[in-house]
Amino acid sequence: MRRAALGPSAPPSIPPSAPRARARAQVWVKPTAEMQYLYGNHVLKSGLGRITEATPAYTGVVVYSMTDVPLGAVLRPPACPPAAPDACGFA
């Protein structure tokens, strides 16, 4: 029995509760900027449709299309400990 292939254009599904648990802020991207984001490029300020109020800087956000389809999440990496002054080899 053969199954029909979904093809390369089928995006991987995002669990509905996974990114929302760590990111409280949400960002909606305009249709013109959706493909830029999905291909891994930056989204310009002109490509943003809506942003949740009081979004702090440098925090994780969930990225949605304007039709409320989750496209992905941008999570803040954990803080790195400061390196020793001689770690670069310039001391």
- Give mean pLDDT in consecutive 10-residue pieces for the chain, a chain of 91 residues: 46 51 80 92 91 84 91 75 58 47
Q: Indicate yes or no: pTM above 0.85.
A: no
Round to whole Å and give the CA distance between 63 and 26: 6
For residue 57, the model assigns a pLDDT of 80
Round to whole Å and give the CA distance between 60 and 55: 9
Kindly list the structural domains of the chain, giving each domain's residue range(s) and its CATH number in brackets, ordered by start: 18-77 (2.30.130.10)
Round to whole Å and give the CA distance between 72 and 36: 13
Round to whole Å and give the CA distance between 9 and 76: 28
How far apart, in Å, are the Cα atoms of 48 and each of 12, 61, 87?
23, 13, 40
Cβ atoms of 30 and 47 closer than 8 Å: yes
